[in-house]
């Protein structure tokens, strides 16, 4: 049985923090795992910025409610799910992602959780586990799935390496340069073709 694991942000939906940075006029919030591979360091940086600017979960959720999937993402995912088992592995948070999941026909999503205080200000975040994308792929392999994985950033590369086949989707040049072992796709047509090629090799 073949299983496709996809990252969420940058693959199916826009980068939430980048959109939020644009709408709040706080460019420092646009920093993502494309720029900072240490996720704990990145999240601490984000929470400190939100506290400084007195922005809470409702402010972020309002931005997300006005977002939507990337152009073509829903059709791509619907077609992919007709031929493969698909699971979204993301380092986002359920509190951010669920409105977007509804717009994508509710695929299975593994991600993390946020903690807010009574006033809606974010005070902490809780990772499901360290390196959850890589660990999930390892467990799927142990269950005898043949895993094909696709993502766009530093935090996807361990997942891609653990899969039977890993694919980069529209990555920044620095990720392409550092991980030349992964094929690069730049649109959904190319990504689907690469997934099908990887599946045919198994």
Q: Active-site positions? A: 7, 9
* 108-116/122-126 β-pairing: antiparallel
d(CA 174, CA 171): 8
Residues 131/110, Cβ–Cβ less than 8 Å? no
Phi/psi for 52 (5° steps) reads -60, -40
Q: Could you tell me the two tokens for 4?
A: 């496709």
- How many residues can be counted in the chain? 202
User: Please, which residues have CB within 8 angstroms of residue 106's CB and are 6 or more apart in sequence?
Assistant: none
Q: What is the dihedral of CA 146, 103, 130, 135, to 10 degrees?
A: -10
User: Please, which residues have CB within 8 angstroms of residue 81's CB and are 6 or more apart in sequence?
Assistant: 105, 107
């Amino acid at each position: 049985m073949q299983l496709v694991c996809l990252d969420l942000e940058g693959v199916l939906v826009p980068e939430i923090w980048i959109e939020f940075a644009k709408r709040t006029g706080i460019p420092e919030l646009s920093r993502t795992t494309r720029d900072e591979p240490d996720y704990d360091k990145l999240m601490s940086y984000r929470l400190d910025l939100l506290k400084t600017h007195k922005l809470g979960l409702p402010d972020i959720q309002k931005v997300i409610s006005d977002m939507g999937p990337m152009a073509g993402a829903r059709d791509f995912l619907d077609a992919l799910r007709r031929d493969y088992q698909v699971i979204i592995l993301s380092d986002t948070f359920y509190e951010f992602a669920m409105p977007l999941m509804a717009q994508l026909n509710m695929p299975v999503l593994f991600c993390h959780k946020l903690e807010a205080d009574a006033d809606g200000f974010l005070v902490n975040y809780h990772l499901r586990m360290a390196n959850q994308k890589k660990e999930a792929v390892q467990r799927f392999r142990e269950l005898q799935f043949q895993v094909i994985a696709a993502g766009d950033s530093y935090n996807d590369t361990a997942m891609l390496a653990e899969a039977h086949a890993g694919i980069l989707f529209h990555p920044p040049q620095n990720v392409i340069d550092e991980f030349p072992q992964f094929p690069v796709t730049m649109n959904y047509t190319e990504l689907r073709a690469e997934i099908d090629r990887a599946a045919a090799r198994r």
